[in-house]
Structure 1
Amino acid sequence: MTFPFESLKNSLPDLEAEAAENDRDSSFPTAGLACLRDLGALCAPLPKTLGGCGFGTDPGGGPGLLHLLRLTGEGNLSLGRLLEGHINAVRLIARYGTSAQLQKASTDILGGALFGIWVTETTNPVHITPDGATFLLHGEKMFASGALHVTRALITAETPDGETRMLLVPLDANRKASPAVGGLCGMRGAGTGSCDFTGIRVASDALTGHPGDYLRQPEFSAGAWRGMAVALGGIDRLVTLLRDQLVSRARDANPYQRTRIGEALIAQETAALWTRKAALVADDKTLPPGDVAATINLARIAVERAGLDVIERVQRSLGLSAFVKTNVVERIMRDLSTYLRQPAPDETLAEAAGWFTQRDLPQPDLHVTPKP
Structure 2
Amino acid sequence: MTFPFDALSACRAELEEEASINDAQGTFPADGLRRVRELGGLSAVLPATLGGYGFGEGCQGAIGLLHLLRLTGEGNLSLGRIVEGHVNAIRLIACYGTPEQFARAAADIHDGALFGVWVTQGAAPVRMEQTGDSIILRGEKVFASGVRHITRALITASTADDATRMILVPLDTEHNAAPCLDGITGMRGAGAGRYDFTGTMVLSDALIGQSGDYLRQPEFSAGAWRGMAVALGGLDRLVTLLREQLCARNRAENPSQQARIGTALIAAETARLWTCKAALIAAGTDDHEAGDVAATVNLARLAVERAGLEVIELAQRGLGLSAFVKTNVVERLIRDLSTYLRQPAPDETLLEAAEWFTRRNLPQMERI
Which TM-score bucket, shorter chain as reference?
A: over 0.9
Paired with 1:286 and 1:230, the residues of 2 have a C-alpha distance of 26
Structure 1 spans left out of the alignment, 5+ residues:
368-372
CA contact (8 A) 1:114 1:150 kept: yes
1:49 is aligned to: 49
- What is the identity, as a one-letter code, of the residue corresponding to 2:144? A
Deviations 1:258-298 (A, max 9, x none): 00000000000000000000000001121000000000000
Paired with 2:119 and 2:252, the residues of 1 have a C-alpha distance of 45
1:327 is aligned to: 328
1:300 aligns with 2:290: no
Paired with 1:158 and 1:57, the residues of 2 have a C-alpha distance of 30
Paired with 2:47 and 2:106, the residues of 1 have a C-alpha distance of 9
Give 1:173 shift.
4.4
Give 1:123 shift.
1.6
1:135 aligns with 2:156: no
1:370 is aligned to: none
2:78 is aligned to: 78
CA contact (8 A) 2:57 2:283 kept: no
Deviations 1:99-147 (A, max 9, x none): 0000000000011100000000012000010133210000000000000
RMSD: 0.9
Report the 3-state secondary structure (helix = DSSP H, G, I; strand = E; otherwise coil) of the residue aligned with 1:161. coil
- What is the identity, as a one-letter code, of the residue corresponding to 1:108? D
Paired with 1:225 and 1:184, the residues of 2 have a C-alpha distance of 24
Paired with 1:233 and 1:247, the residues of 2 have a C-alpha distance of 21
Paired with 1:132 and 1:278, the residues of 2 have a C-alpha distance of 42
Report the 3-state secondary structure (helix = DSSP H, G, I; strand = E; otherwise coil) of the residue aligned with 1:44. coil
1:5 is aligned to: 5
Give 1:162 shift.
1.2
Give 1:47 shift.
1.4
Task: Map residues 149-298 of structure 1 onto 2, 5 A cutoff.
Answer: 149-284=149-284, 285-298=286-299
- What is the identity, as a one-letter code, of the residue corresponding to 1:118? W
1:123 is aligned to: 123
Report the 3-state secondary structure (helix = DSSP H, G, I; strand = E; otherwise coil) of the residue aligned with 2:24. helix
Report the 3-state secondary structure (helix = DSSP H, G, I; strand = E; otherwise coil) of the residue aligned with 1:177. coil
TM normalised by structure 2 equals: 0.98
- What is the identity, as a one-letter code, of the residue corresponding to 1:36? V
- What is the identity, as a one-letter code, of the residue corresponding to 1:293? A
Deviations 1:152-185 (A, max 9, x none): 0000000111110001000024111023111100
Matched residues, percent identical? 65
Paired with 1:132 and 1:62, the residues of 2 have a C-alpha distance of 40
1:39 aligns with 2:21: no
2:366 is aligned to: 365
Paired with 1:214 and 1:296, the residues of 2 have a C-alpha distance of 17
Give 1:237 shift.
0.2
CA contact (8 A) 1:166 1:208 kept: yes
Give 1:348 shift.
0.2
- What is the identity, as a one-letter code, of the residue corresponding to 1:237? R
- What is the identity, as a one-letter code, of the residue corresponding to 1:13? A
CA contact (8 A) 1:48 1:58 kept: no
Structure 2 spans left out of the alignment, 5+ residues:
none
Deviations 1:181-201 (A, max 9, x none): 111000000010010000010
Paired with 1:265 and 1:326, the residues of 2 have a C-alpha distance of 25
* Greater Cα shift, 166-175 or 67-76: 166-175
Give 1:59 shift.
5.6
TM normalised by structure 1 equals: 0.97
Task: Map residues 18-33 of structure 1 onto 2, 5 A cutoff.
Answer: 18-33=18-33
Report the 3-state secondary structure (helix = DSSP H, G, I; strand = E; otherwise coil) of the residue aligned with 1:358. coil
Paired with 1:4 and 1:33, the residues of 2 have a C-alpha distance of 15
CA contact (8 A) 1:44 1:54 kept: yes
Paired with 2:172 and 2:11, the residues of 1 have a C-alpha distance of 29
Give 1:26 shift.
0.5
- What is the identity, as a one-letter code, of the residue corresponding to 2:191? G
1:316 aligns with 2:317: yes
2:354 is aligned to: 353
Give 1:58 shift.
5.0
Paired with 1:138 and 1:60, the residues of 2 have a C-alpha distance of 41
Paired with 2:169 and 2:58, the residues of 1 have a C-alpha distance of 25
CA contact (8 A) 2:59 2:280 kept: no
Paired with 1:117 and 1:220, the residues of 2 have a C-alpha distance of 13
**Equivalent residue pairs, number:** 367
Report the 3-state secondary structure (helix = DSSP H, G, I; strand = E; otherwise coil) of the residue aligned with 1:266. helix
- What is the identity, as a one-letter code, of the residue corresponding to 1:124? A
